[in-house]
Structure 1
Amino acid sequence: MFDDLRLPLGDWVEAGVDWITANLAILFDFVKSVITGIYDAIEYVLIEPPELVLILVLAAIAFLVRGWKMALGTVIGLFVIVLVNQWDNAMATLALTIVAAFFALLIAIPLGIWAARNDTVSTIVRPVLDFLQTMPAFVYLIPAIILFNVGVVPGIIATIAFAMAPGVRLTELGIRGVNREIVEAGSAFGASPGRILRQIQLPLALPTIMTGVNQIIMLSLSMVVIAAMVGAGGLGQPIVQSLQRIDIGLGSEAGLSVVILAIFLDRVTNALGSLQDHSPVAKLRARRAAADAPRPAVVEPDMVASPTAETEAAAAGGR
């Protein structure tokens, strides 16, 4: 009955993509140049220095946000990556994750703030985020390859689309979860909406927003294998090679390197978003605040006025 009925959705999508590639080629070339330039710069900074120098830098970051145990674990984990000969691939993956997470946050946080402050925007954005989260990750590669060819850029674009949704949702959730009475108190004191957002809503919503940042980074790292299929390189490349060759050893080495990077990034971002931060920096700030706090005046024994003769006589007469 319905054999002759067919919705030409694929033809419509193909026609739309053809129109975009024909009329917006300059825009996509510009985007490709910007992303490639940023990625190359970050990759150069991560790969060119000696491994020991960069290990010490990352360990110092871990120490500042989580303490010496995290720093020691970072040193051990990164040395394992060096020993399995996956350092360059790991740093390329880290550069890809940083660039993808940066652009995803650049879109997600403002969009989440807008959705939290406007119900109409929230109603429109919600089904779009549902679509992005339920779409299989491999599907993102198809338009990315068509628009940007093979290489690191389509991998980053696909990663941005795949990882952006949790950042938008958690930013909106965090801002909407701020106590209304606090916001109303700020309005009562004459604070502008922008000042309320900067000084009340964003600080109180920061733990939830940082959870979104953590999720974006983790999802970006999880796309490393898929991005390697379009020429992005990094740790995904040896994983793909191990699948093709059925090389368990190579796959284990690359997979372990991904896990080490994931643990490092997860712990660091969780520490940055924690309200109860016990890092050395937080302790130092607490000590300085305690040192700068005004202290109550101490009354010396010699400064206490002794009773005068008149006072003693009056006391004796009262008896």
Structure 2
Amino acid sequence: MHKNKPKQSKASRPNISQYTVKEPTELLLFLLHKQAKLGRNSVKAILARGQVSVNDKVVKEYNYPLQPGQTVIIRKDRVVEEAPLIGLTILHEDEDIIVIQKNAGLLSIASAQETEMTAYRQLMSHVRAKDPGSRVFVVHRLDRDTSGIMMFAKSEKVQQLLQNDWQDAVKERTYVALVEGKVKKPEGTISSWLRESSTLKMYSSQRPNDGQHAVTHYKTIQSSSSFTLLEVQLETGRKNQIRVHMEDIGHPIVGDKKYGSKSKALNRLGLHARVLAFVHPSTGQPMRFETEIPKAFLALIR
């Protein structure tokens, strides 16, 4: 007669750790204490992947309050290997938004003609690795050959809030542009109306209301005899706005053949979205992200 095998308790299964809370604390602190050998980043990753439950409910918040008598379970068998992100770095992520730094060469989002790897597609996979029902939504774009800071929403509601209130929500959008030639004026403002041709090239017009009004402010950071590094602030965010306006003043962006550049000094476009400051759509908190000026830009000025 066969004896029934004893049923393994959750705690004795190799991939599951079970703990009883003895005193009030927060979840991340509790896990760091119980899983000291793992290290802080690994513990945060376990939480983010939904591998921790409190009284059989999955919890991902670091500061989730624990009370004596609760049961905390870590399931190490639920690891989802996430594909590495290529051409982008996540600077900030919360329940509502993701802020990234995008490298030059990576498309923000695929167009009808292009279906290659994009920032959007990678971030969609990133959020779905943690929760299959999650999505990301495009708030604004950067051209393929422009690097720098971009923001995505994690719900349609947040996307609409940001897009409808973009001019008020965004407090600062600063770019650095490496342009051809020595810009004589230390600072200036360019104002024109932009419209798109049938070949998808943007054109500048001085005729009022002949297209969308665009205003760009610039000031010189550094210059050499051949190039000038400008800080550029957008008052409006039109398609290719900085690229058209730099061509308008006779100093096209380095590497921007479409808008008049002759220089091949960079193997990319000399445009980088350096600062994005905005009011968080849900919390109302001011947020500001700033990145370094690309080393290749500085190398051409020195």
TM-score, normalised by the number of residues in structure 1:
0.22
Q: In terms of Rg, which structure is larger?
A: 1
More strand by share: 2
More helix by share: 1
TM-score, normalised by the number of residues in structure 2:
0.23
